[in-house]
Each structure stands twice: as structure tokens, then as C-alpha cells.
């Protein structure tokens, strides 16, 4: 894990989220809520949250489980930031009578995950997988560990920055801004010199993404969509569905859900920024 990533999230821990990002974050959270509702089914769930950050997704899982007449038996969160895990503990501690939980510091792209074999029924990796996809070795390690800890029939939900959107930005020479909302800088000059962007190896192509009001640039990588179609199959996972976060949010008003999902009004910059992200779901065969 690159030190700047750990440093960024340690520094931002225990600080209120910038108000400028409230609409964008609310839209992403609503998209995850709707997405998980389409993936989950009744039963008892052990949840592993890879790159859990402040632990915000556990509330969604518990809420949805109750909606389905199911329950979350256990939650394991892992993250590279000790500061973020401290906040996650504060969020989870009031639930300890009804929920077994554990949090541990871990670089998901290189370390062994602290979970027993075939123990997890739901694995989440929301807006974090790009941090450990910077080399093929780390990307494959992620899938090997996910395969080891997932039981048969387990579901994995992955949200990543979409390479194809970034490629279009570079091809159109929109090199530094994305509608004034998300700053995009590809740090590998060869990316801009290539006549065929689709042939480039996406591993190691660093980008800088900054939403308005965030503390500093956070270095990230991008993932070619083909990696999420081809790699999982080699480890015994089947791709179920995938959709852009923008399209999920666009459909929320037309969805029939048992719980009302509220989306604040988004300005054009925030709306277009949602198109940078795509959600994938897989099932363990």
C-alpha cells in the first residue's frame, strides 16, 4: 500500500466530511443501498468489508438484513488506515450486543486476510480496490484471498474507478478537469502518447482524484473493465452484473423499494462525477 494513501486517510480521520461533498457522498451511499438490495437474499450473513474506512457500510447491511427477515451474524472490517479503523470501532461498539465484529489493519493487496477459510458470505470492496490493483501481483493476491475466505455461493460487491471513462477523458484531451468537480491527472506521460489507449496495461497508471473540499489529492489507480471480466473467472468467481453509479442513481426514483431512498439535488458537476465509478457483483462458484 502506498504510504500517501495511508497518510491521507489517517489525516482525514476524526474530521467532519467537507460539506461540499455531501451531495456526491449521499448519492454514492444511496446507490450502494439500492445495489445491495438487489444482490442480497434472506439468510444469515457474515460480512467482510475490504477497505472498510470509517465502517459506514455495516449500517446498510444490518438494515437490509432486517428488511429481508435475515440477520448479519458477524462483521469483519479491514483497512490500511488506523485512524479510519478507530472511527469504525466507535460506530460499531454500540452494536456489540447484537453483532460480533472485528477490525484489523491490513494491506489487502499483500497481507493475509485475518479470516478463516470459507467463512464469509458477503464481501464488500467499495471504492477501495483501485488502491491495491497497481500491479498484477497485488491484484491477483486480492482475488486469491477473497477466494480463500469466501464460502460457496458468497457474493462480492466491488465498486471501482472506471478506466474507460478516464480513457475517454484522455482521448478527448480533457487532461486535468472533469467538469470542474473531479480533478484527473494521469501521472504516466506515456498514457497521453499512446495511439491506442485500450491496449495499455492499466496496472501502475496512477491518477489523482480530488472531490471539492477534500484535504488533499489522494493517489489512486484505475482498473481496466476487462480485468473485472476476466480475472475473477480464473479464481472461481462469476460476474453477475455491473452498472455505473450514475445509472443506479438515475433509476432510484423509479425503483420500488420498501424503504424510501432520498437523494439530494445534485448539480451537473456532481452528477457527471458519478460516472467515474462502476459497481460489479460476483458470486463464488
The span from the CA of 56 to the CA of 124, in Å, is 12
The span from the CA of 280 to the CA of 39, in Å, is 10
Task: Bin 173: left if φ > 0, else alpha if -120 < ψ < 50, else beta.
Answer: left
pLDDT value of position 38: 82
Q: Which three cell numbers stand for residue 162?
A: 472506471
Q: How far, in whole angstroms, is CA 127 from its chain's centroid?
A: 2
pLDDT value of position 134: 73
Beta strand 237-244 pairing with 44-50 = unpaired
pLDDT by position in tens, the chain (length 285): 446 677 767 677 767 766 667 778 888 888 888 888 888 778 888 999 999 988 888 888 888 888 877 788 999 999 988 888 999 999 899 888 888 999 999 999 888 999 999 999 999 999 888 777 777 888 899 999 999 999 999 999 999 887 777 666 666 655 444 444 555 555 555 555 554 555 555 555 566 655 544 445 555 667 777 788 889 999 999 999 999 998 998 887 655 554 556 676 777 777 877 888 899 999 999
- Within 10 Å of residue 12's Cβ, how many Cβ atoms? 21
pLDDT value of position 215: 42
In b/e form, how buried is each residue of 205-223, taking b as 16+ CB within 10 angstroms? bbbbbebbebeeebbbbbb
The span from the CA of 33 to the CA of 54, in Å, is 17
pLDDT value of position 180: 46
Amino acid at each position: 500500500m502506498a504510504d500517501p494513501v495511508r497518510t491521507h486517510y489517517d489525516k482525514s480521520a476524526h474530521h467532519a466530511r467537507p460539506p461540499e461533498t455531501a451531495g456526491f457522498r449521499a448519492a454514492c451511499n444511496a446507490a450502494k443501498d439500492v445495489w445491495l438490495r438487489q444482490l442480497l437474499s434472506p439468510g444469515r450473513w457474515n460480512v467482510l468489508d475490504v477497505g472498510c474506512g470509517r465502517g459506514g457500510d455495516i449500517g446498510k447491511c444490518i438494515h437490509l438484513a432486517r428488511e429481508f427477515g435475515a440477520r448479519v451474524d458477524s462483521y469483519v472490517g479491514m483497512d490500511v488506515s488506523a485512524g479510519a479503523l478507530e472511527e469504525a470501532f466507535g460506530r460499531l461498539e454500540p452494536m456489540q450486543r447484537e453483532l460480533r465484529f472485528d477490525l484489523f489493519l491490513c494491506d489487502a493487496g499483500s497481507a493475509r486476510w485475518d479470516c478463516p477459510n470459507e467463512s464469509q458470505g458477503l464481501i464488500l470492496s467499495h471504492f477501495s480496490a483501485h488502491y491495491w490493483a497497481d500491479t498484477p501481483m497485488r491484484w491477483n493476491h486480492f482475488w486469491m484471498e477473497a477466494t480463500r475466505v469466501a464460502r460457496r455461493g458468497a457474493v462480492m460487491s466491488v465498486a471501482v474507478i472506471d478506466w474507460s471513462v478516464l480513457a475517454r477523458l484522455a482521448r478527448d484531451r480533457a487532461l486535468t478537469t472533469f467538469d470542474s468537480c473531479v480533478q484527473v491527472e494521469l501521472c504516466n506521460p506515456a498514457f497521453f502518447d499512446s495511439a491506442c489507449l485500450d491496449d495499455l496495461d492499466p496496472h501502475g497508471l496512477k491518477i489523482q482524484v480530488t472531490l471539492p473540499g477534500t484535504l488533499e489529492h489522494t493517489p489512486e489507480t484505475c482498473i481496466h473493465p476487462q480485468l473485472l471480466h476476466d480475472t475473477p473467472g480464473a479464481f472461481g468467481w462469476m460476474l453477475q452484473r455491473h452498472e455505473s453509479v450514475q445509472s443506479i442513481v438515475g433509476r432510484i426514483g423509479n425503483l420500488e423499494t420498501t424503504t424510501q431512498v432520498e437523494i439530494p439535488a445534485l448539480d451537473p458537476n456532481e452528477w457527471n462525477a458519478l460516472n467515474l465509478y462502476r459497481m460489479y457483483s460476483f458470486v463464488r462458484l
